[in-house]
Amino acid sequence: MALSSTSGPADLNRELPPAERMTRLIQQIREADHAYYVLDAPILDDGAYDALLRELRALEAEYPDLANADSPTRRVPGEPVESFAKVSHLESLLSLGNCMTDEELARFFQRVGNLLGRAPEFHCEPKFDGLSIALVYHDGRLAVGATRGDGSLGEDVTANVRTIRSIPQTLRGRAPAVLQVRGEVIMDRTSFLSLNETLIAAGEAPKANPRNAAAGSLRQLDPRITASRPLRFFAYSAYSPDGLPVGSQAELIDALRDWGFPTSASNRHAPGADEVVAYVRQMETTRRDFPFDTDGVVVKVNALADQAELGVVGREPRWAIAYKYPPEEAYTTLKNVTVQVGRTGVLTPVAELEPIVVGGVLVSRATLHNAREIARKDLRIGDTVVVRRAGEVIPEIVAAVVERRPDTATIWQMPDTCPSCGAPIRQVDDEVAVRCSSPANLCRAQLAQGIEHFASRNCMNVEGLGPAVVEALLENELIHGPADLYRLTREQLLPLPRFAERSAEKLLANIAASRSADLGRVIDALGIPQVGHETAQVLASAFGSLDRLAAASEEQLNELEGIGPSVCASIRGYFDEATNRALVDNLLELGIGRAPLDGAAGASSDSGDRLAGASVVITGSLSRPRRYFEELIEKAGGRSADSVTSKVSYLVCGDAPGSKLEKARKLGIPVLSEAEFLELIGASERTTAGG
């Protein structure tokens, strides 16, 4: 949760009796969860949200007899279980029939039309590639969470389900007294890749895909492991023995949202077969923009009465079908294996492939993770291999086709020295990965990767500072570390390839704008091992400035909620290294990472919360760097989004806009010019992004 708070711990009446204070805190936390997971419009930033949880935990520890069984603090139980008990579903969880061609889909339309004696309306939904579960609520409270199992009998994973924050423990509004909700537990691609990195570093086999990662995470015997995995839930159907208070699938989706469940924003009502086909074609492309995997589209007859009339054959409903897109795999040749050096010095083998089109994208390289993975899959140079776009984006080698292996195929070995600087490689006892033994500032590859990470979108967000530019700056000895970026001049940039007056000025403006990055971004940009975006935000909230964080003891770090001993040791170890401390001192001298001064310049004071809860997308070229306008949006209480959906409040449009403008107009989203946007938030001409 990453936006300005409209209310926080300081707003609570400290004079309230403990029971009322607990009730107030629980209500605020539930509202924040609902805004974040269901409405996609956060109302609390990470620090304020965590502060509410800390205060609630403290009260529950002081007054255990007053603690609520449905408290948000109870999402993570203490002890693992020995096995999962079996549980019967209130209504069988049916499986869907599949089709993969327009002809097969047309036969489905014809079949339901013949059975009903007319052409029905339909409802279309993305087919999530995750783990199907059923949630049972009694009088609005979560009672049971179970896997699908055989459709009639599943495994009781209630303790694990309670750790997933997008699943409400208590329903909103008036829901049936007994309600079974079905949906999908998923893991997004970014979290999947991060999990695999963690597993590989720990010597464990990586997960094959996000679906396997989600399923494995939910079926952990220790709920604390599940709680550490970033799982999400989307609801798509429900059953009540007393009947549902809706008449169609579209109305059911609305009811699920009203009760507090996240549902897909891409669900669509389709009046007829033509609209279904158009949705299928559209989703084939747009699903690639989703942060999570989908492998098809689910088409349902919309009216629940029609569904009941059509009935079920075996374990498949006659009223629904899954249109599945073809698997995105291909065969090609593993030509060679090269090694990349990351910003932490880890050597990662990369497959050089005979170029092949996989899922519409030309693939010529794929990660191989580490030497142990290559050996496990028995990959050899010269092999025919199966290539898949993991998460529909990242290319990976699934397996070697051993029966096609040529006599000339050779076994690959990890080099003994760093391919970038020639230093010997080393292996830490508890790691699978091998590392360059050189310090980051003496290994060109580590240095380049570190600067790219520093400037990346989730960190300092310096647009235009890609690998080629970083390499040119290092090659010409214009920079020797991230802090040197802020000392670059136009005269230094102009002689470099692809730089002219305008591009040089634009890069310098983007670098200058990044000075105003919030402390969490600055900490993330340092690249401290084991510290990602969320941990960086916790550290920023706790210490308030880079110098105070750098001076924090390991004991002080260990007192922070959600940060374990290993991470604390890594943070302390980072700041104890002279090279890293020099970088921190450099940034502080530049005014980056310091505690904000009272009355510091910023958006004009009347901008207030004019965008409170609003989602804003920027497209086209504006008069100043994009980061400048993102800062204005955040200071006005809104959030900057990347893609245009029905949830977007405004589109700010500059010169040469792309397809986002057309999509916004189709969805009826207000389109603002730069001047109109500044007028809306009350920003004066004196407003500066850099503070």
Q: Is residue 335 annotated as a catalytic residue, yes or no?
A: no
Segment holding 191, helix H or strand E: helix 189-201
Angle between helices 444-455 and 467-475 (to 10 degrees): 130
Give the distance between the most distant pair of CA atoms in the chain.
Answer: 80
Q: In this structure, which long-range contacts are made by residues 68-73, counting pairs with CB atoms below 8 Å and at least 24 apart in sequence?
A: 68/22, 68/23, 68/26, 70/26, 70/141, 70/142, 70/169, 70/170, 71/22, 71/26, 72/26, 72/29, 72/30, 72/33, 72/169
- Look up residue 64 and give its DSSP letter: G
DSSP secondary structure string for all residues of 15-33:
TS-HHHHHHHHHHHHHHHH
State the pairing for strand pair 312-313/329-341: unpaired
Is residue 606 within 8 Å of 682, Cβ to Cβ? yes
Is residue 562 within 8 Å of 46, Cβ to Cβ? no
**Which residues are within 8 A (CB) of 504 and not within 5 positions of it... i.e. 6 or more apart?**
490, 493, 494
Q: How far is CA 632 from CA 166, 315, 365, 655, in A?
A: 29, 54, 40, 19
Q: What angle do CA 248, 249, 255 make, to 5 degrees?
A: 90
What gap in Å lies between CA 645 and CA 662, rounded to an integer?
A: 12
Residue with tokens 């004071």: 605
Tokens at residue 200, please?
């590989």
Q: Which of 34, 47, 58, 44 is nearest to 6 (CA)?
A: 44
Residue with tokens 């009935």: 311
Q: Dihedrals φ, ψ of 153, to 5°? A: -130, 125
What gap in Å lies between CA 524 and CA 459, rounded to an integer?
A: 6
Residue with tokens 């693992």: 80
Is residue 126 within 8 Å of 294, Cβ to Cβ? yes
Q: Which of 344, 347, 343 is nearest to 369 (CA)?
A: 347
Tokens at residue 532, please?
């990602």
Q: Dihedrals φ, ψ of 101, to 5°? A: -135, 160
Is residue 50 within 8 Å of 8, Cβ to Cβ? no
Tokens at residue 227, please?
């709680």
Give SS3 for 542: helix
Bridge-partner residues for 213, per DSSP?
A: none
Active-site choice (86, 127, 335, 635): 127
Is residue 136 within 8 Å of 289, Cβ to Cβ? no
What gap in Å lies between CA 395 and CA 602, rounded to an integer?
A: 43
Tokens at residue 576, please?
């104890």
What gap in Å lies between CA 176 and CA 184, rounded to an integer?
A: 21
What gap in Å lies between CA 86 and CA 61, rounded to an integer?
A: 33
What gap in Å lies between CA 612 and CA 605, rounded to an integer?
A: 15
Taken as a whole, the chain contains a residue count of 691
What gap in Å lies between CA 235 and CA 261, rounded to an integer?
A: 6
Q: Which of 591, 440, 577 is nearest to 522 (CA)?
A: 591
Give the residue ranges of DSSP H helices in 389-430: none
Is residue 309 within 8 Å of 301, Cβ to Cβ? no
Q: Would you name the residues annotated as active-site residues?
A: 127
